[in-house]
């Protein structure tokens, strides 16, 4: 049955569910191998770095699963300063990271928006515009998205988190700030406004089925995502979801292994189904397994987001427990990730934006002279 599915050019929803339900070790190995073949063919054996700057952990939202939710008063809130952010962006450029990602909790007050405006102007001066900028700053108005795009941001990450509206409601408070409809609308807006669109989900949430996850993949297709960032759900003990999972005894080694494997299966099925999108091998994988990020690359992922958040802030930007690498400085994180990539026989796409072949041609106005779309190594074996 698995071999039949893997021969198909276009999988059905049932095929996706079948793949996501696999448990046999041999079959899982075969699935990951097949996904790796698709990645090798469509993208090459190359992993791209996006330096992740967690610029602030203030958030106006209260997602039940997240450690920096507004309602968690145990969190010490921080803002990286303008100078700290710019100096780390310069560091990323000097270290040949093709791009940086600015991420924070969700804020939409004018002071925040203006702060980002200024950062974009300054970051775009680095290397004469060569450093790519991805934003991951939550739901904003069309006007704000447009302004940030005009200032040079070319990719935006906004996860749907869970594409099943019923489950979405269970994971978020019932109020207008957490509306599923608005979320979908904002994701569509990003695409319409010209961004390369990244979205994604959490995997292994309480009550989430393989059917839900198959529908998540179909959602990525429907909204025409260019990149996917998804990872296993990881407990944060000071959150409603985390407490529920811990109370029910659902965070033991077996359960963690299940979520981890489910995360890898999602990467593999998404790679096989969507073929040429960028897929991140996320930090959450490594939070559950020390080798998680390599496994993510081996299952079809091609993007790593090394954390370059300044100093002690890293330890305060805790979406979940056991965040890896908080003790290490950015140089050590870079070296260990580079080593991990080389150890599995891949190279790092240094100094390139690494836009996915799925995305339209990169924008001309801010295009760096040496920027390239990922050139697939060999298309001749493609039907």
* Residue 105 interface partner, choices ligand SF4, ligand 5AD, none, CB cut-off 5-8 Å depending on type: ligand SF4
Binding track over 29-68 against ligand SF4, x by CB under 6 A: ------------------------------x-x-x--x-x
CB of residue 259 vs ligand 5AD: minimum separation in angstroms? 10
* Residue 233 interface partner, choices ligand SF4, ligand 5AD, none, CB cut-off 5-8 Å depending on type: ligand 5AD
Other beta carbons within 10 angstroms of residue 376's beta carbon come to: 14
* Residue 234 interface partner, choices ligand 5AD, ligand SF4, none, CB cut-off 5-8 Å depending on type: ligand 5AD
CB of residue 24 vs ligand 5AD: minimum separation in angstroms? 27
CB of residue 234 vs ligand 5AD: minimum separation in angstroms? 4
* Residue 236 interface partner, choices ligand SF4, ligand 5AD, none, CB cut-off 5-8 Å depending on type: ligand 5AD
Q: Which of 69, 314, 340, 358 binds ligand SF4 (CB under 6 A)?
A: 69
Contact 367, 99 (CB under 8 A): no
Tokens for 340?
């991990």
CB nearer to ligand 5AD: give 44 or 292: 292
Binding track over 90-129 against ligand SF4, x by CB under 6 A: ---------------xx-----------------------
Crossing angle, helix 25-42 and helix 253-274, to 10 degrees? 40
User: If we measure between CA atoms, which residue out of 319, 255, 286 comes closest to residue 104?
Assistant: 319
CB nearer to ligand 5AD: give 161 or 210: 161
* Residue 320 interface partner, choices ligand 5AD, ligand SF4, none, CB cut-off 5-8 Å depending on type: ligand 5AD
CB nearer to ligand SF4: give 138 or 300: 138
Give the helix/strand (H/E) hosting 203.
strand 202-203
CB nearer to ligand SF4: give 47 or 68: 68
* Residue 305 interface partner, choices ligand SF4, ligand 5AD, none, CB cut-off 5-8 Å depending on type: none
Distance CA 167, CA 209 (A): 10
Distance CA 235, CA 257 (A): 13
CB of residue 282 vs ligand SF4: minimum separation in angstroms? 14
Contact 331, 298 (CB under 8 A): no
* Residue 362 interface partner, choices ligand SF4, ligand 5AD, none, CB cut-off 5-8 Å depending on type: none
CB nearer to ligand 5AD: give 268 or 319: 319
Tokens for 63?
């997602």
Contact 265, 254 (CB under 8 A): no
Question: Considering Cα of 308, then 312, then 316, then 319, what sign does the dihedral take?
Answer: positive
b/e code 229-259 from CB counts within 10 Å (16+ = b)? bbbbbbbbebbbbbeebeeeebbeeeebeeb
Residues 6+ apart with CB under 8 A from 148: 116, 117, 120, 135, 140
* Residue 106 interface partner, choices ligand SF4, ligand 5AD, none, CB cut-off 5-8 Å depending on type: ligand SF4
Distance CA 339, CA 345 (A): 10
Local structure of 206: helix, strand or coil: coil
Regarding 158 and contact with ligand SF4 (CB under 6 A), the answer is no
Distance CA 303, CA 326 (A): 20
Q: Which residues bind ligand SF4 (CB under 6 A)?
A: 59, 61, 63, 66, 68-69, 105-106, 138
């Amino acid at each position: 049955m698995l071999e039949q599915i893997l021969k198909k050019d276009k999988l059905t929803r049932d095929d996706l569910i079948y793949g996501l339900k696999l448990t046999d070790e041999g079959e899982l190995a075969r699935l990951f191998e097949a996904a790796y073949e698709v990645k090798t063919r469509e993208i090459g054996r190359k992993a791209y770095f996006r330096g992740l700057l967690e610029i602030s952990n203030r958030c106006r939202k209260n997602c039940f699963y997240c450690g920096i939710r507004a309602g968690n008063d145990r969190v010490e809130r921080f803002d990286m300063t303008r100078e700290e952010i710019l100096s780390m962006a310069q560091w990323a450029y000097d270290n040949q990271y093709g791009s940086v990602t600015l991420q924070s909790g969700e804020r939409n007050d004018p002071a925040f928006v203006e702060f980002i405006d200024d950062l974009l102007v300054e970051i775009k001066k680095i290397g004469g515009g060569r450093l790519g900028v991805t934003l991951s700053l939550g739901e904003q108005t069309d006007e704000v998205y447009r302004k940030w795009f005009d200032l040079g941001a070319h990719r935006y990450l906004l996860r749907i988190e869970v594409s099943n509206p019923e489950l979405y409601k269970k994971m978020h408070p019932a109020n207008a700030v957490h509306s599923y409809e608005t979320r979908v609308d904002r994701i569509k807006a990003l695409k319409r406004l010209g961004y390369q669109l990244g979205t994604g989900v959490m995997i292994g949430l309480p009550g989430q089925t393989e059917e839900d996850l198959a529908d998540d993949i179909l959602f990525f297709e429907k909204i025409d995502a260019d990149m996917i960032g998804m990872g296993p759900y990881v407990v944060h003990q000071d959150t409603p979801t985390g407490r529920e999972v811990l109370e029910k005894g659902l965070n033991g080694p077996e359960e963690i292994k299940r979520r981890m494997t489910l995360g890898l299966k999602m990467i593999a099925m998404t790679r096989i189904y969507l073929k040429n999108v960028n897929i991140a091998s996320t930090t959450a994988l490594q939070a559950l397994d020390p080798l998680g990020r390599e496994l993510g690359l081996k299952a079809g992922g091609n993007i790593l987001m090394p954390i370059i958040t300044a100093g002690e802030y890293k330890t305060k930007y805790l979406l979940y427990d056991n965040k890896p690498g908080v003790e290490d400085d950015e140089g050590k994180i870079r070296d260990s990730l580079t080593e991990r990539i080389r150890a599995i026989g891949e190279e790092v796409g240094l100094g390139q934006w690494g836009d996915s072949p799925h995305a339209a041609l990169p924008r001309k106005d801010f295009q760096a002279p040496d920027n390239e779309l990922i050139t697939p190594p060999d298309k001749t074996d493609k039907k």
